[in-house]
Amino acid sequence: MIYLYWYLGVGVCIVLPFVVRSRILKKDDLPTANDLLEALQPERKSLWYRLRSNVLAPLLTGLLVVPFWPFVVYLKVQDMVLGKHEASNLEEPKFAVVRADLLERVSIAEIEQCERVFDPLSAVPDLPFGHLNTAWRKFLEDMTPDAEMWTFSAHWTDWGSKELRRGYVMVRGNVIGPYFLTTRKDVDEGDVAQVGTLRTGIPGWLQRHAD
């Protein structure tokens, strides 16, 4: 019997730090996250919900975990070993131009001549890239004498939505630098299959329509 007490005692000693840690993390949690969750689910504000979520659920979980503490230790070790790797997988992939996306080398003068915007109602400044001229000039601040400017066309999967992206990118030797986007539009599956440079992402209609 004494061995059982020892076994359960070890379980309690293991569970307690987890409980304390989770309480501390909850305090550090983003306040906007709680606000949003409460806004989306108003019942979260009720006393019964708070009692269930803050007292009953942790208590029952703790009681369940005590007899199975070796399994908790196993999960924790696994989490520590694989945790970093899994966290990096959760990060949203970031678009970048690759060498296969490059089309042709162009000069800044050619670009600025080609990207001048005309409007019969004069609802755009008579400058390269029109309303985006400030962004273009800011982009050019990174241009160095050794850099080349190239046009690019790439496909990108943004939240599951396949997009065609076009624009201009700075290339320094073998290094592909910052880019200036001029087109971003959804494409059909067939078009994407022909071009090829597909990258993984997360459902885009969510972001596009609800951001």
Torsional sign, CA 137, 142, 146, 148: negative
**Rounded to the nearest whole angstrom, what is the least distance from the CB of residue 120 to other proteins in the complex?**
7
The conformational region for residue 151 under phi > 0 = left, psi -120 to 50 = alpha, else beta, is: beta
Question: In 3D, which of 86, 31, 23 has the Cα closest to residue 58?
Answer: 23
Answer yes or no: are the C-beta atoms of 98 and 171 closer than 8 Å: no
> Long-range pairs for 178-181 at CB < 8 Å and ≥24 separation?
178/139, 178/142, 179/96, 179/97, 179/152, 180/135, 180/136, 180/139
Does the protein bind other proteins through residue 132 (CB under 8 A)? yes
Q: Considering the rule CB under 8 A, would residue 44 count as an interface residue with other proteins?
A: no
Q: Which stretch binds other proteins (CB under 8 A): 8-16, 104-112, 113-121, 193-201?
A: 113-121
Q: Which of 61, 161, 182, 197 binds other proteins (CB under 8 A)?
A: 182
Question: Closest CB to other proteins among 92 and 110?
Answer: 92
What are the tokens at 51?
Answer: 């009692």
CB of 13 to other proteins, least distance (A): 23
Instruction: Among 14, 125, 143, 192, indicate the residue that binds other proteins (CB under 8 A).
Output: 125
Interior CA angle at 33 toward 29 and 34, to 5°? 85
We find the least distance from the C-beta atom of residue 100 to other proteins, in angstroms, to be: 22
Binding flag, residue 159, other proteins (CB under 8 A) = yes
Shortest reach from residue 53's CB to other proteins, in Å: 15
DSSP three-state, residue 115: coil
120 touching other proteins, by CB under 8 A: yes
Any contact of residue 183 with other proteins (CB under 8 A)?
yes
Q: If you count DSSP H runs as helices and E runs as strands, how many of each does the chain have, helices first?
A: 9, 4
List residues binding other proteins (CB under 8 A): 25, 28-30, 32-33, 35-37, 39-40, 42, 87, 90, 92, 117, 119-121, 123-125, 130-132, 134-136, 138-139, 159, 180-186, 202, 205-211
